[in-house]
C-alpha cells in the first residue's frame, strides 16, 4: 500500500478540543438546569406536609385531597378536604400560620368552578382562558374568598378578574395593557 502523505483524519486537533469542551459545557449546563428546576419545585411544595398536619389539627378536616397556593396581598395555602360528616371543604390557610386568619368554606355553599367557567365562556367567548383558582381578596382588615379568573381578552390584554364565591358577582378586575406588540401566532 502506498502512503502518499494524505491523512484520512482531516479534522484539526484544535477543532476536536473545542467541540469536546463545548459539548461538556452543554452537558454541565443541562445537568445544572435540571438540578435547579428540581430544587425550585421541592422548595415550592416543601411546606405542604407541615401545612397538612396543621390544617388537620386546627380545622374540622379529617382528610386532605390536595393543596395549592395563592399569592395575593396575603399568601394562602388552599387546602381541599373532607370532614367526618363527608362534607367537602376548602380551607384558606395563611402562609404566616396565623390560625385567626383561617377561612373555611363548604364547597356545597359556593359557586362551583365549573359554573364560573361556564358563565365566563358565555360572557367572553372570544377570550383565551388561562386559569381559574380560589383566591383571597383583602379589603382593609377583611379577607374575602373569591375565584380568580385569568385570561386574555379580545384586545389582547391580560385580565385578572375576581368573582365572589357566594354568588359569582364581580368583585374586582385588573386589565394589563401590552407594552410591546407580539409576533403573530
pLDDT above 80 (res 155)? yes
> 23 and 58 in one domain?
no
Question: Cα–Cα distance between 90 and 103 in angstroms, integer?
Answer: 8
Most confident of 1-10, 47-56, 92-101, 109-118: 109-118
Contact predicate 107/89, CB 8 Å: yes
pLDDT at 20: 94
> 64 and 78 in one domain?
yes
pLDDT, mean over the chain: 85
Contact predicate 83/67, CB 8 Å: no
3-state DSSP percent of the chain in helix, strand and coil, to 5: 35, 35, 30
If one counts the domains in the chain, the total is 3
Decide if 3 is inside a domain: no
Three-state SS string across 98-147, please? CHHHCEEEEHHHCCCHHHHHHHHHHHCCCCEEEEEEEEEEEECCEEEEEE
Which of residues 62, 88, 108 is at a domain's end? 108
pTM (global) more than 0.85: no
Question: Cα–Cα distance between 129 and 176 in angstroms, integer?
Answer: 15
> 124 and 75 in one domain?
no
Decide if 10 is inside a domain: no
> 53 and 29 in one domain?
no
> 162 and 140 in one domain?
yes
> 165 and 129 in one domain?
yes
Which tens digits make up the pLDDT trace of 18-49? 999 999 999 999 999 999 998 887 777 777 88
Q: Fill in the DSSP letter of residue 176.
A: E
pLDDT above 80 (res 178)? no
Q: Could you tell me the CATH number of the domain that includes residue 167?
A: 3.10.450.40
Max Cα separation, the chain? 93
Most confident of 4-13, 36-45, 167-176: 167-176
> 89 and 76 in one domain?
yes
Q: What is the DSSP string of 70-97?
A: EESSSEEEEEEEEETT--EEEEEEETT-
Domain that holds residue 121: 113-176
pLDDT above 50 (res 87)? yes
Question: Cα–Cα distance between 33 and 45 in angstroms, integer?
Answer: 19
Contact predicate 89/100, CB 8 Å: no
Confidence class for position 5, pLDDT limits 50, 70, 90: low
pLDDT at 151: 93
> 101 and 118 in one domain?
no
pLDDT at 4: 57
Three-class SS state of 40: helix
Amino acid at each position: 500500500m502506498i502512503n502518499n502523505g494524505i491523512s484520512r483524519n482531516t479534522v484539526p486537533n484544535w477543532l476536536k478540543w473545542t467541540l469536546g469542551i463545548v459539548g461538556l459545557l452543554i452537558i454541565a449546563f443541562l445537568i445544572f438546569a435540571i438540578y435547579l428546576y428540581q430544587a425550585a419545585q421541592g422548595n415550592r411544595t416543601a411546606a405542604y406536609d407541615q401545612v397538612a398536619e396543621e390544617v388537620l389539627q386546627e380545622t374540622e378536616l379529617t382528610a386532605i385531597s390536595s393543596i395549592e397556593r395563592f399569592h395575593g396581598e396575603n399568601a394562602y395555602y388552599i387546602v381541599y378536604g373532607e370532614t367526618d360528616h363527608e362534607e367537602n371543604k376548602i380551607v384558606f390557610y395563611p402562609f404566616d400560620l396565623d390560625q385567626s386568619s383561617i377561612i373555611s368554606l363548604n364547597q356545597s355553599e359556593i359557586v362551583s368552578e365549573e359554573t364560573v367557567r361556564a358563565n365566563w365562556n358565555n360572557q367572553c367567548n372570544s377570550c383565551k382562558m388561562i386559569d381559574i383558582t380560589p383566591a383571597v381578596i383583602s379589603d382593609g382588615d377583611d379577607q374575602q374568598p373569591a375565584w380568580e379568573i385569568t385570561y386574555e381578552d379580545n384586545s389582547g390584554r391580560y385580565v385578572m378578574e375576581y368573582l365572589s364565591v357566594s354568588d359569582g358577582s364581580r368583585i374586582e378586575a385588573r386589565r394589563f395593557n401590552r407594552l410591546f406588540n407580539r409576533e403573530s401566532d
